[in-house]
A and B are shown apart, each in its own frame.
Chain A
Amino acid sequence: MIELADLSLVSWSRAQFALTAMYHWLFVPLTLGITFIIAFMETIYVRTGNEEWKRMTKFWMTLFGINFAIGVATGIILEFEFGTNWSAYSWFVGDIFGAPLAIEGMLAFFMESTFIAIMFFGWNKVSKKVHLLATWLTAVGANLSALWILVANGWMQDPVGMFFNPDTARNEMQNFWEVLFSQVAVDKWLHTTSSGFVLASIFVIGISSWFLLKKREVSLAKKSILVAAVFGLISSIYLVGTGDSSAKSVAVTQPMKLAAMEGLYNGEEGTGLVAIGLLKDANTDRSSEPLSNFYVKMEIPKFLSFLAFADWNAFVPGINDLLEGNEEQGIMAATEKIERGKVAIRKLSEFKEAKKNGNEAIARALRDELTSEQFKEEYFSYFGYGYFTDVKDLIPNIPLTFYSFHIMVALGFLFVALFALSLFLLLKKDITRWRWFLRFAVLAIPLAYIASMSGWVVAEVGRQPWVVQDLMPTMAGVTRISSGSVKLTFWLFVVLFTILLIAELKIMFRQIKIGPKH
């Protein structure tokens, strides 16, 4: 059976993965969005022949190049970390997870790396139109790269299109299209890439606003704001839509995550959506009545029920319903799930034993039982629960999930307003005279990063304790290695990535200060 690692190893492995993932995510969203903004600008240049658009394209391309290099540097570690730190998980899911990853390499990475070289160095080597094509393909390649890794991530949140093979002790793919087009995977890709578009648009508007505040490059800055505001406004409205769709998927596939996002302990029909709230000690008081987990909160009545299930009176389960069960609503108690999970684990163990001892008849009978639809539905779907003894371990970190979710949503709506206002001031007023707005636009850049990072915290912290929803707990996926080794590599990465981040920021600030080349 899978040997469980000690908690210190699990915690350090999680910390290392979180660290590398978060550092990587500092750079990816800008890449996803700014490549399109650059492509728009270059398209205008090719169509009009106006050199200012070329200068603009090259300026934003320089900033993109600085950001891209460190994105690549932090990205390679993530791919290999699945193996180095999560090897039990890698085997358990490799048959499904590996395929998107390999496709990503073959299709998207080569596209990106081939055309990015032309984009940077091909100005005098290929025709204008081929260069433009290369720029567009870099943008498409970057976003396709994101597709496959997010499909894999989506599968971990909602494992579909597979069956468990007791002989190999892993999940095996049964239906590729189900994996690729699962609602969670599609939502995840659309929501994540559009969040990148929004962040990049804010980045461009913010830096352009800085130029306007300094009364430099006024024409170039205004044109940049125009492109970014249009792209940003469309993307942000789309982002809200995909966010809504994601929440609906979460309500069905990960009800515990939804409850954590809302700090909802006791479910009810017609549940309200917490607009603003200050949590009490949310992790301990399991018997509390609704409201008592908040010092203060402002709620939009019945809105959570509507958002999650498109029905104002739908029942949204709370943490207590999910742990203790709710017969009326047909929710099984966590203790029952744990029991069923233990049965699945025991059966698999007996099968392995029979196989090892050469008891063919017993092994065959157990294999038939393990792979039967009934067993799958009644027992195997709770396999991961079998590793738990205390139901409290099934609750994710509520304050972190709750606040991250609310920060993300609030900032998301703020950005819609920012784009709309940018366009209004640019087209109907003289934006250079609205200095408070320009200052606000500069400040919005870090806010965009906070919103983006919060989104991942909701997705990844909110799904704990699972690495594969209901099937594999995080503690079972870890590589057996001394926690000292992981501690050492964690600090190694802290130092290395922090140094590189400082370098990146200093170079970026300097390049912005220098401005576009004449």
Chain B
Amino acid sequence: MLENLSHLALQHYWWVIISLLGALFVFLTFVQGGQTLIYTIGKTEGEKTLLLNTLGRKWEFTFTTLVTFGGAFFASFPLFYATSFGGAYWVWLLILVAFIIQAVSYEFRKKPANFLGAKTYEIFLVINGVAGTILIGTAVGTFFNGAEFILNDMNQVLWQNSARGLEAVLNIHNVALGATVFFLARTLGLLYFIYTIDDETIVNRSRKRLIYCALPFLVVFLFFVIFLFLKDGFAVNSETGVISVEPYKYWNNLIQMPLALVIFLLGVVGVLWGIITVLFRNRDNGFLFAGPGAVLTVFVLFILAGFNNTSFYPSLSDMQSSLTIQNASSSRFTLVVMSYVSLIIPFVFAYIYYFWRAMNRKKITDEEMNNESHVY
């Protein structure tokens, strides 16, 4: 069945999976966003414990999605994996350190004799929340703005900037995406608190705080999107593989792919409705709209970066070294094998959804924290 698909079709299929994983990851950074708010929303130890426990039961999903995103990129577009990770060394290393310190913090924070003290682990979580989101957003910004690398005839990466990836922060558009992910994560974090915690003080405080996260999010998001649609992009000739600059490339992509446009608009409306319904209609389920809305929006941004004959990782040093879903992908055979394995993804989603619901059926309460045998 899948053997009959062309290499190009498989490359597109895998870009869709990468986009979906990337979108899910950005949505799941509500954990990171929530971590940056533990001192703002949690004023007492009990409140902080509630916040960290509702987040702590989900941190592994975010982490696992990031790992799977990396693994799937390695498998389907290994040239990107080799080029970006090997090239933008410092950016990725800093991101990794931010996630290393997160992984232990939940488990170690409340444990006796934890060596560094609870406060240190809380600070680790805040660092992970701030640096993790901003750096990843900024790194993904290079999908649209390019990076300084050359590939030799053995596809070995030769990075052209000694800052090894940190130079991405000099581009305002990259930083805008970093800030967008950061404020989106905080907005989603607040919506998650409101949705899952049964504690009036925390919920009221989160509602009040929401506008201060949602507004900056909307401002930087709009800036990022308008900038994106007005800027030049890197187009690839599907016959020759030659890369060239095309004005309004990403806007053209959106218009030329009407389905992407519809999904994008649905996503944006979802996020806005999630915020509005909490802010102005006093509901507590905004997370259920804003979460999927974020997934759809980010999914389309990835699609715009790679579909419609676009280079998803442009080289600013040698345009013809730019990566496209055609020249960076695995062989057809490997993509077929992995595509068979990917058929299990709906099943994975189904059991995650089922068990997530089972675990979140009742809101988390202070009482539960006192009775539960495993508390973060």
Taken together as a complex, chains A and B put the C-alpha atoms of A105 and B74 apart, in Å, by 11
CA distance A504 to B76 in the complex (A): 36
What chain A residues lie within 8 Å of B345 (beta carbons)?
106
What distance in Å separates the Cβ of A137 from its nearest Cβ neighbour in chain B? Answer: 9
Measured between beta carbons, the chain A residues less than 8 angstroms from B60 are 72, 113, 116-117
List B contacts of A94 (CB < 8 A). 74-75, 78-79, 81-82, 330
> What total of chain B residues lie within 8 Å of the partner, measured CB to CB?
78
Considering the complex, give the chain B residue whose CB is closest to the CB of A517: B373
A68 to B106, CA, bound (A): 12
Binary CB contact string for chain A from 55 to 71 against chain B (1 if under 8 A, 0 otherwise)? 00010011001101110
A1 to B351 alpha-carbon distance, docked (Å): 47
Least Cβ–Cβ distance between B33 and chain A, in angstroms: 19
Contact check, B68 vs A106: say whether CB atoms are below 8 A apart.
Answer: yes
Determine whether the beta carbon of A69 is less than 8 Å from that of B155. no
Check if B104 is an interface residue, CB within 8 A of chain A: yes
Q: How far is the CA of A97 from the CA of B331 in the complex (A)?
A: 12
A21 CB–B CB distance under 8 Å: no
Q: Is A169 an interface residue (CB 8 A)?
A: yes
* B156 surroundings in chain A (CB, below 8 A): 2-3, 87-88, 91, 480
Q: Considering the chains assembled together, what is the distance between the CA atoms of A3 and B79 in angstroms?
A: 17
A271 to B55, CA, bound (A): 60
A481 CB within 8 Å of chain B? yes
The distance in angstroms between the C-alpha atoms of A99 and B333, with both chains bound, is 11
A509 at the interface (CB under 8 A from B): yes
B115 touches A87 (CB 8 A): no
Inter-chain CA distance A239–B337, complex, in Å, is: 31
Contacts A3-B156, A94-B74, A106-B341 hold; do A99 and B334 have CB atoms under 8 A apart?
A: yes
Stretch at the interface among A245-253, A382-390, A421-429, A492-500: A492-500
CB of A464 to closest CB in B, whole Å: 21
Judge if A434 is at the interface, Cβ distance under 8 Å: no
A134 surroundings in chain B (CB, below 8 A): 355
B352 within 8 A of A: yes
> Cα distance A95–B87 when bound, in Å?
19
For the side of the interface on A, what is the size category? 35 or more
B374 within 8 A of A: yes
User: Contact string, B154-188, partner A, CB cutoff 8 A, digits 1/0?
Assistant: 11111100101000000000000000000000000
Q: Does B66 contact A (CB under 8 A)?
A: yes
If the complex has contacts A83-B82, A99-B75, A479-B89, are A73 and B103 also in contact, measured as CB distance less than 8 A? Answer: yes
Whether A47 is near chain B, meaning CB under 8 Å from some CB there, is: no
Contact of B104 with A70 in the complex, beta carbons under 8 Å: yes
With A66-B108, A506-B113 in contact, is A88–B344 under 8 Å at CB?
Answer: no
B86 and A102 form a contact (CB under 8 A) = no
- Docked-complex contact B57 and A507, CB < 8 angstroms: no
Q: Cβ of B81 and Cβ of A99 under 8 Å apart?
A: no
Partner of A499, one of B116, B153, B352: B116
Question: Which of the segments A119-127, A193-201, A305-313, A451-459 contacts the partner chain?
Answer: A119-127
Q: Is the CB of A496 within 8 A of B113?
A: no
Q: Are B104 and A83 within 8 A (Cβ)? A: no
Asked whether A172 and B155 contact (CB < 8 A) given A102-B71, A120-B374, A504-B104, the answer is no
Do A101 and B74 touch across chains, with their CB atoms under 8 A apart?
A: yes
Q: Which of A117, A118, A481, A503 contacts B114 (CB 8 A)?
A: A503
B220-250 Cβ-contact flags toward A at 8 Å (1 or 0): 0000000000000000000000000000000
* Residue A371 is within 8 A (CB to CB) of chain B in the complex: no
Q: List chain B residues, Cβ under 8 A from A503.
A: 104, 108, 114-116
Q: Which residues from A are CB-within-8-Å of B92? A: 80, 83-84
A165 in the interface (beta carbon within 8 A): yes
Question: CB distance B68 to A105 under 8 Å?
Answer: yes
Cβ proximity bits A144-180 to B, threshold 8 Å, 1 near / 0 not: 0000000000000000000001001110111010000
Interchain CB contact under 8 A, B104 and A82:
no
Q: Which of B44-52, B93-101, B199-207 contacts A (4 or more CB under 8 A)?
A: B93-101
B39: interface (CB < 8 Å): no
Judged by a CB distance under 8 angstroms, whether A224 is at the interface is: no
Q: Which residues of A contact B351 (CB under 8 A)?
A: 114
Say yes or no for B273: interface residue by CB 8 A criterion.
no
Q: Which of A412-463 contact B (CB under 8 A)?
A: none
Query: Is B107 on the interface with A (CB-CB < 8 A)?
Result: yes
B249-270 interface bits toward A, Cβ cutoff 8 Å, 1 = contact, 0 = none? 0000000000000000000000
Answer yes or no: B63 CB below 8 A from chain A CBs. Answer: yes
Least CB distance from B113 to A in Å reads 4
Q: Are A69 and B104 in contact (CB under 8 A)?
A: yes
- Tell me, yes or no, whether A103 is within 8 Å of chain B by CB: yes
The yes or no answer to B358 lying at the interface (CB within 8 A) is yes
In chain A, residues 328-362, which have Cβ atoms closer than 8 Å to a Cβ of chain B? 352, 356
**Closest B-chain residue to A500, C-beta based?**
B104
Establish whether residues B86 and A114, one from each chain, have CB atoms under 8 Å apart when the complex forms: no
Q: Are B99 and A126 in contact (CB under 8 A)?
A: no
- Complex: A410 Cα to B72 Cα, angstroms: 40
CB distance from B224 to the nearest CB of A (A): 26
Known A-B contacts A101-B71, A106-B341, A169-B155; A506 and B115 likewise in contact (beta carbons under 8 Å): yes
Cα-based distance from A338 to B68 in the complex (angstroms): 39
Residues of B within 8 A of A122 (CB): 358-359
Residue from B75, B89, B352, B361 within 8 A of A98 (CB atoms) = B75
Shortest distance from the beta carbon of A364 to any chain B beta carbon, whole Å: 17
**Which residues from chain A contact B79 at a C-beta distance below 8 Å?**
91, 94
Report the Cα distance A79→B74, complex, angstroms. 10
Collect the chain B residues with CB atoms within 8 Å of residue A1's CB: 153-154
- Cα distance, A206 to B71, chains bound together (Å): 37
CB contact under 8 A between A109 and B67, given known A169-B155, A173-B337 = yes
- Interface residue B282 (Cβ < 8 Å from any Cβ of A): no
Closest-CB distance, B124 to chain A (whole angstroms): 10
List of B residues within 8 angstroms of A496 by Cβ: 97, 100-101
Chain B residues with CB under 8 A of A172: 330-331, 333-334
Whole-angstrom distance between the alpha carbons of A94 and B89 in the complex? 18
Pick the most buried of B68, B342, B361: most chain A CB atoms within 10 A of its CB: B68
A143 / chain B contacts, CB cutoff of 8 Å: none
B67–A99 contact, CB under 8 A? no
17 extra interchain contacts, Cβ-Cβ under 8 A, other than A87-B86, A94-B78, A496-B97?
A: A73-B102, A73-B103, A83-B82, A84-B86, A94-B75, A99-B334, A105-B72, A106-B72, A106-B342, A110-B68, A114-B352, A117-B57, A124-B372, A134-B355, A172-B334, A173-B334, A507-B114
- Please list the 10 inter-chain residue pairs (A to B) with the smallest Cβ-Cβ separation, ordered nearest first: A94-B78, A87-B86, A83-B85, A105-B68, A98-B75, A102-B75, A73-B103, A69-B107, A510-B113, A503-B115
25 A-B contact pairs sorted by A residue (CB < 8 Å)? A65-B107, A70-B104, A77-B100, A79-B74, A80-B92, A90-B85, A94-B74, A102-B72, A102-B341, A104-B71, A114-B355, A116-B60, A117-B355, A118-B358, A121-B57, A479-B89, A480-B156, A480-B158, A489-B93, A492-B97, A496-B97, A500-B100, A506-B114, A507-B113, A511-B112
